Amino acid sequence: MLKFKILYFVRFFADALFYPYMSLYFIQKSVTETDLGFLLSITPILSIVVNPIWNYFVKDMKVSRIILQVMTVVEGVLIFTLTKVTTLEAYAIIIGLIAVLCSPYIQIQDGFAATFANNNKLEYSSIRIWASITYVIGTLLGGYLGVYIGYDLLFLASGIIFVATAFLVLWIKPIEKRADLIVRPKRDFKALLKNVEFYKYLVFYTLVIGSVRIGDTFFGVYIMKDFGITTIDYGWLYAAFVLVEVLVMRFLMAKGSQYSDKATFIVAGAMFVLRFLVYALEPSLPVIYAVTLLRGAGWGIILYAHIKFIIKIVKVENVTAAILILTLMFSIYTGVGNWISGSFIERYGYPKLYLVNMVLIFAGLLVFVLFTPRIKQPEAGKAMEPDHAESQ
């Protein structure tokens, strides 16, 4: 358990020094909103192609561990390389390489950790919360470093930590299978594809979380361009809503069993709707700051409930495959959305972008309310003991 917490802490610290500031870096390099939309669409669009391939190769925990090691080294090198080029074409190529070689990392890592947690009767969110904790520190630090040492050195630090993450993955060694322990069934992909409840959740997740991600992608540029805040201010705001995310996750880890899955998802969705509605109304900056904290609260709920809910509606051996399929549809949606959004912003402005995404989030939430996925029932006669033949 401790090893996984350290892995999440270090990996997401590297993440926090790069991805929240990538859009700001491109704008600083005089990239237009239209071109920014193109650049930000590359990863989700290419993920459509590469995720099924990675899904084929990720068949067990040992393979997952090897893939995670290679991916994080490649990602670190490419992030550093990004600072050494200056043309739109070069930016696109490097982002494309990150997408093809590294984009499924988080989903594979989540499947890796969730399988371990489920097999050992542990709370997955007690591992995942360390990613949020490190994001509070990393984004706050990143804002200052971006101003005082520049993005080039900030991204170099990120790349070095990405590479270091590979050694942590090496540290987490799968346990050898023993004859006296229950052997975990192999992935049953056909059963997953026939699971109607999974498709219901897929629609909800794609519309709601996809629309939130599109809005978040352009949020930093929006408040810096329309409200004139600094990179340091942005770092503080980002750290603040992630801190709220941590607090909400801690609360749900202690009290979450008192609330139904349906209620938690509805509350999160309502927060996302309200947040984007306020952005669309073009309020004062203090109101923007206040309502942005809802992002942390809503996202904290999703992080707590998402993996737990997947485990409840699909077989445990299909968790990683389910996550990758969700990511595939999410990638199609956000890829097209990001590409269109760049030109949309230049023509109609940021407020209307948030209005459109608010409507889409509401539609996804309505689908969840009307067609709530049902929890799977335990198979008759199936042993309830966890399979320990995975990872520690």
Q: Report pLDDT digits (tens) over 226-252.
A: 888 999 999 999 999 999 999 998 999
In angstroms, what is the C-alpha Rg of the chain? 20
The CA distance from 138 to 235, in Å, is 9
Q: Report pLDDT digits (tens) over 25-44.
A: 998 898 998 999 999 999 88
Provide mean pLDDT across the span 102-119. Answer: 74
pLDDT at position 110, please?
74
Mean pLDDT over all residues of the chain? 84
Is it the case that residue 286 has pLDDT exceeding 50? Answer: yes
pLDDT at position 181, please?
41
Structure tokens at 283: 């309020």
Distance linking the first and last C-alpha atoms of the chain = 7
Is it the case that residue 222 has pLDDT exceeding 80? Answer: yes
pLDDT at position 182, please?
43
Amino acid at 384: M
Domains within the chain, CATH numbers bracketed:
2-176+186-370 (1.20.1250.20)
Confidence band, pLDDT 50/70/90 cuts, at residue 60: low
Model-level pTM? 0.79
Residue ranges in the chain assigned as alpha helix (H): 2-16, 19-28, 33-57, 61-82, 88-102, 105-119, 125-148, 151-171, 189-193, 196-217, 219-226, 231-255, 261-280, 285-313, 319-348, 350-370
b/e sequence 80-93, b meaning 16+ C-beta within 10 Å: bbbbeeeebeebeb
27-41, 104-118, 173-187, 275-289: least confidently modelled range: 173-187
Q: Report pLDDT digits (tens) over 262-285.
A: 999 999 999 999 999 999 999 999
Cβ pair 213, 360 in contact under 8 A: no
Confidence band, pLDDT 50/70/90 cuts, at residue 194: confident
